[in-house]
Amino acid sequence: MRLDRLYQSRQKPDISIELFPPKTPEGISKLFETVERLKAVNPVFFSVTFGAGGSTRDLTIDLCRKLKESSGVEVMCHLNIVGQSREETTANLQKIKASGIYNLLALRGDPPQDQPNFKPHPDGFDSSYQLVEEAGKDPWFSIGVSGFPEIHPDAKGNRADDIAYLKKKVDAGACVIFTQLFLDNRFFFEFLDFVRKAGISVPVIPGILPILSAAQIRRFTALCGSTIPADVAKNLEKYETDDAGAAEYGVELATRQCSELLKSGVPGLHFYALNRDASVRKILTNLRLKTE
Ligand SMILES: Cc1cc2nc3c(=O)[nH]c(=O)nc-3n(C[C@H](O)[C@H](O)[C@H](O)COP(=O)(O)OP(=O)(O)OC[C@H]3O[C@@H](n4cnc5c(N)ncnc54)[C@H](O)[C@@H]3O)c2cc1C
């Protein structure tokens, strides 16, 4: 189903699952096994991230196409503009369309971390709202964008600027917002309040990352600027060298987060699954949202 038709049901939240493209054929076949298990949670779509560095970019669109064909589940293709010319970006949009994919997550992206001398493409789009505008010229696409409950680091703590930019992306044609990960729902509720007060009325879907290990969540939050609340940090200390224990704790935490979010009326949950299925399945079983 297209993004603009999702998130209408008041009875049941729409569950989506974000994956990343593995770099090896073995990784890809393992991912397809994971996807088979994830189908048990009845996702409305799988989404596939688009690499910042170039090496995995071609994999994303191909993986989206194969996922849609083989799993029978809808997909959303992520696309960023960093380091690419306008021609490359429009060629990517055409390739996505030719692959039969209409759901698009339009992103700016970040310069690759391993390229300290990275320079923006002189003939590229420089803002994600321009990508929304470009893709939106073709009604084929149904477009989502990112949102930041804890304010994007580039906005340097200025909530009003961050929300004004988000509005620009929605006014350019985006029909849904998927949020960055957050480990305290208060960030989401506060953000949603600002979003609605700014007159943005599209669905806002919380991004949930089930913790897999203490090291992993510290790395991820440092990268995206999300906070590890004090109680979570204290709990993680117990699992420094126990990834299985950290993952169990991650399931418990995410279950509590999702339960509260659903009670508040969110129309969907977007899981950063990191190509794993166990935690997402357990969380949805806990929430009684799994179909088997
Ligand atoms: C759900 C989700 C999925 C993601 N998937 C991927 C992925 O597949 N590949 C990937 O590389 N990255 C991905 N990211 C991360 C993303 O690349 C980073 O958030 C990046 O730092 C910015 O790109 P953006 O499109 O999210 O932000 P944008 O919204 O384009 O910009 C981030 C912030 O910068 C400021 N800003 C940017 N441009 C302007 C402007 N012209 N004027 C004023 N302010 C501006 C605003 O405060 C804005 O909120 C994802 C993020 C989320 C939340």
pLDDT tens by residue, 34-89:
999 999 999 999 999 998 766 677 899 999 999 999 999 999 999 999 999 999 99
Calpha distance 292→290 (Å, rounded): 6
Is 67 within the bounds of a domain?
yes
Which atom of ligand 1 has the smallest separation from the CA of 162? Answer: 47
| Residue 194, pLDDT score | 98
Evaluate whether residue 116 is within a structural domain.
yes
Q: Please check whether residue 273 lies inside any domain of the structure.
A: yes
Q: What distance in Å separates the CA atoms of residue 80 and residue 13, rounded to the nearest whole number?
A: 27
Domain-located, residue 234: no
Q: How far is the CA of 107 from the centre of ligand 1 (A)?
A: 5
Q: What is the distance between the alpha carbons of residues 39 and 163, in angstroms, rounded to a whole number?
A: 35
What's residue 208's pLDDT? 98
Single out the catalytic residue among 18, 74, 134, 150: 18
Q: What angle do CA 262, 171, 121 make, to 5 degrees?
A: 105
From the CB of 84, is ligand 1 less than 6 Å away? no
pLDDT of 53: 65
- For a pocket test of ligand 1, which of 152, 181, 208, 270 has the largest count of ligand atoms closer than 8 A to its C-beta? 152
Q: Is the CB of 80 under 6 A from ligand 1?
A: yes
Residue 46 lies in a domain: yes
Q: Which of 17, 105, 108, 127 to mutate to test the pocket of ligand 1 (most atoms within 8 A of CB)?
A: 108
CATH number of the domain where residue 117 is located = 3.20.20.220
Q: Could you tell me the sign of the dihedral formed by the alpha carbons of 267, 272, 275, 281, in that order?
A: negative
Over 60: is that where the pLDDT of 7 sits? yes
Query: What number is the average pLDDT over the span 218-222?
Result: 96
CB 178 near ligand 1, within 6 Å:
yes
152 falls within a domain: yes
From CA 101, how far away is CA 46, in angstroms rounded? 12
Q: Which backbone phi and psi does 265 adopt, to 5 degrees?
A: 105, 15
Q: How confident is the model at residue 288 (pLDDT cuts 50, 70, 90)?
A: very high
Looking at the 3D structure of the chain, how many domains does it have? 1
Amino acid at 256: R
Nearest CA to ligand 1 atom 12: 109
Which among 274, 228, 258, 283 has a CA at the least distance from the CA of 237?
228
Give CA separation, 229 vs 189, 222, 243, 245, 274, in Å.
16, 13, 19, 18, 22
User: What digits encode the pLDDT tens for the residues 169-215?
Assistant: 999 999 999 999 999 999 999 999 999 999 999 999 999 999 999 99
Flag whether 228 is in a domain.
Answer: no
The pLDDT assigned to 163 comes to 98
Q: Look up the pTM and report it.
A: 0.97
Q: Note whether 221 and 227 are within 8 A (CB).
A: yes
- Tell me the pLDDT tens digit for each residue of 107-163: 999 888 777 777 779 999 999 999 999 999 999 999 999 999 999 999 999 999 999
Give me the domain span that covers residue 59. 3-210+251-286
Give yes or no: 190 in active site. no
